Structure 1
Amino acid sequence: MNYWAVLVAAVSSFLVGGLWYSPALFGKAWVRENGGAMQQGHPAKVFGLSFLFSLLAAACFAWWVEPAPELDAAVKAGAVAGLGFVAASFGINYQFAQRSFRLWLIDGGYHALQFLLFGLILGAWH
């Protein structure tokens, strides 16, 4: 496993998430779709744990695609993981929780992009 690529993939996920959920992109809509509730908790804890989860996701993805995957195979695996596993699983939960389709698009879209980035980074960096 390329640990540097895993670290960069996790950082990319964290940075894209910051932009994705910012007011410049989908932050305002995300807050509105969550009933206007802002995130609670100490920012250092929230961001620290979020980065650790990004690192865990990147490491698991790297293990799944194995060392030195071909770029096209890694990107396809990213699409399968992001859309087929994560976003689809969110969709199931969101239906039972009566959350909006728009919220699913925001959250599922982020994770689809997250795993596509993982595939791009791990497939390009050997």
Structure 2
Amino acid sequence: MFDVNWLAIVLAAAAGFVVGGIWYGPIMGKKWMGAVGLSEDQIKSGNMGVIYGGAFAFSLIASWTLAHTFASYASYGAELSVVAKVMTAFGAALGFIVPAIGTNYLFSQKSKALFFIDAGYWLLFYIAMGMVHAYLP
């Protein structure tokens, strides 16, 4: 329906993936493991192909959705600036993703620490994707 930049979609998904590697690695890795109650051995015993492959597939869906959103704006004549695209991506995370995980964490009685770790990640993830889509329309 709308033309999208497939290279930007893949690169934006990859950018979000890199943010995740840094966020859940050296920045918040140990705190996240404690908050979810997993040891390094338990994490390493997971099927990494399925975990990382699935996560990247979900990143591609999120990136395509963001690209499609910007393309739909453009089809109506909107010319969004870099800041507008990044803020739109941030707003999608803040307005949709963060409340959704917050609701899930409330009902599953997850810790506030885990909520803030994961919410921070999703905000950064969408900012990174928004930046790629802003510079590679």
* TM-score where L is the length of structure 2: 0.84
One-letter code aligned to 1:9:
A
Tell me the percent identity: 33
In the alignment, structure 1 segments of 5+ residues that lack a partner are none
Q: Secondary structure at the match of 1:36?
A: coil
Count of paired positions: 125
1:51 counterpart letter in structure 2: F
Distance 1:98 1:36 in 2: 16
Query: Which of 36, 41, 45 is matched with 2:46 structurally?
Result: 41
How far apart, CA to CA, are the structure 1 residues paired with 2:102 and 2:62?
19
Q: Is the 8 A contact 2:16 2:128 kept in 1?
A: yes
Instruction: Name the counterpart of 1:65.
Output: 70
The answer to whether the aligner puts 1:7 opposite 2:18 as a matched pair is no
- Relative contact order: is structure 1 or structure 2 higher (C-alpha 8 Å, sep ≥ 6)? 2
Residue in structure 2 matching 1:102, options 86, 108, 113: 113
Shift of 1:69: 4.0
Q: Distance in 2 between matches of 1:32 and 1:41?
A: 17
Give the whole-Å Cα distance in 2 for the aligned partners of 1:69 and 1:52: 27
- 3-state DSSP of counterpart to 1:115: helix
Amino acid at match of 1:54: S
Letter in 2 for 1:3: W
Whose helix fraction is larger, Structure 1's or Structure 2's? 2
CA displacement at 1:87 relative to structure 2: 1.1
Cα distance in 1 for partners of 2:38, 2:58 equals 25
Question: What's 2:135 paired with?
Answer: 124
Q: Report the RMSD for the aligned CA atoms in angstroms.
A: 1.6
Given candidates 2, 19, 23, the residue that maps to 1:16 is 19
Counterparts of 1:64 and 1:73, CA distance in 2: 12
Over alpha carbons, which structure has the higher Rg?
2
TM-superposed CA distance for 1:29, in Å, is 0.6
